[in-house]
Amino acid sequence: MTTLLRALVLGCAIAPLAALHAPAFAARSAFTNTVASSFDAQSGGIGVDGNTVGYLDNGKWMKYAGVDFASSGAATFTAHIGVPSAYAGQKIEVRVDALNGQVLGTLTVGATGSWGTLTDQSTSVNAISGVHDVYLIVRGSYGAGNMDRFKFVPAASGQTVYISGQNGTVIDGRTFSNGSGRCLQISNSQNITVRNATFVSCGDDGIRIDGSSSVTIDGSYFENTSGHAVLAVESNSIAVTNSRFKNAKSGTFPMFISVGGHSRIAGNIGRNEPGKSNPEDLIAINQNRSDSGDPLIIENNCLQGGGPSTTGGGLMLGQLGGSSLNDRNGNIIARNNTLVDPGQYGIAVAGGNSIQVLSNKVQAKQASWTNVGLYVWAQYGASCSNITVSGNRVNFINSSGSQNPAWNAGNCGTVNGWSNNSFPDTTLTGLSCPAF
């Protein structure tokens, strides 16, 4: 390595090459090596010697325009970089689209022995797809290293993809598979969209969302997930729409735990095939905390196939694990949903306040696990009030071969509209959710 790039950190007075940079060009692949000196803009003070950049001091940056992450996205950032031990431990921050844009990841530069000994050093990055400008920003003191190239490594099948601390990320058309664990983890992020994606054979949840807001899962496909297809926890404004779910190995299709804001589960189709699935509830809502003026909406979903679980079923609303959380449970509207052979029950109100069950259809033939089509029963000490059940049609045969369309346990106060349902409706036959 020449003296040029070593000089600044050794204290010599060599003028920075602020104006030297390669011309901009069309989109470049994130997954092939990018020459470090081919930046499209820089902060000033970056030294260049052939492919190599130096003078990488705190706050300095380089911009690489039009980097194409395709639809597969990246899991790892790898830089070919060198630094003596005395200067090791400084950081290269990777951002997209602006100097203050989303942080994809941060590489802590390890010692290589000398400025001229360059090695590949890697860090995991948040999931991102499409074409973006990439910014590499130095965080530390001075002399973070000499670097001649970098690249991103695509997310491979068999590993969890992470979105953490991001705003505005869109994942479109990507396929996820991870037989040993969760496929996609979204944490502490906002305005995230996952659309037209495929989740197959996830060893845990297909998607888990924690501490996030304004997350939309739309037009996506889930099959053979071993946990929940979509699990949202302590989050706000979560939408699961127009998606397809097939053969849950356990868990649910969507499950929301302590979710608030403007949230929706709508227009989805779920099918479980006998002998190929073992779901619990098809949709489960636990400790819902939507405001009264902006309830959680569950509508226009078609769900088919439950059992052999003797405890699980179709729509579980207001489920609550303890009375200490009673004030965070309610404000749900479930309407115009169709449930076909959904399991032990069809629709359940297991506690909560201000829950409306409106104009749904539930049909089930006799099976060893079937019990009741629709019930209202406050369980586990949950508070329960202001429940409306109206306009529903239920034809549900229990395990004894008898009609058992509905049951009101009487511990939720007066259930509004109870007499305005078809319990049973023996004309309700031949229902089926669309095949896919």
Tens digit of pLDDT for each residue in 155-179? Answer: 766 788 888 888 888 788 888 999 9
Cis peptide before 424 (omega within 30 of 0): yes
Q: With contact defined as beta carbons under 8 Å apart, do 283 and 265 qualify?
A: yes
Longest dimension (CA), the chain: 92
Q: Which residues pair with 77 in a beta bridge?
A: 123, 152
pLDDT (0 to 100) of residue 23: 44
Q: Which residues of the chain have pLDDT under 70?
A: 1-26, 156-157, 320-328
Supply the pLDDT for residue 5.
Answer: 53
CA 114 centroid distance within chain: 42
The CA-atom distances, in angstroms, between 226 and each of 36, 106, 200, 202 are 42, 32, 10, 6
Residues whose CB is less than 8 angstroms from the CB of residue 194 and which lie 6 or more positions away in sequence, other chains included: 171, 184, 207, 215, 216, 217, 218, 220
Using an 8 Å Cβ cutoff, are 242 and 218 in contact?
yes
Question: Which pair of tokens denotes residue 170?
Answer: 């869109």
pLDDT tens digits, one per residue of 360-387: 999 999 999 999 999 999 998 888 999 9
CATH number, domain 161-420: 2.160.20.10
Residues 51, 118: Cα–Cα separation, whole Å: 13
If residue 238 lies in a helix (H) or strand (E), which one and from where to where? strand 230-241
Distance CA 429, CA 436 (A): 21
Q: What are phi and psi of 326, to 5 degrees?
A: -60, -35
3-154 maps to CATH 3.40.50.410: no
What span, in angstroms and rounded, lies between the C-alpha atoms of 196 and 202? 17
β-bridge mates for residue 239, sequence order: 216, 264
Domain boundaries, the chain: 3-154, 161-420
pLDDT for res 380: 84
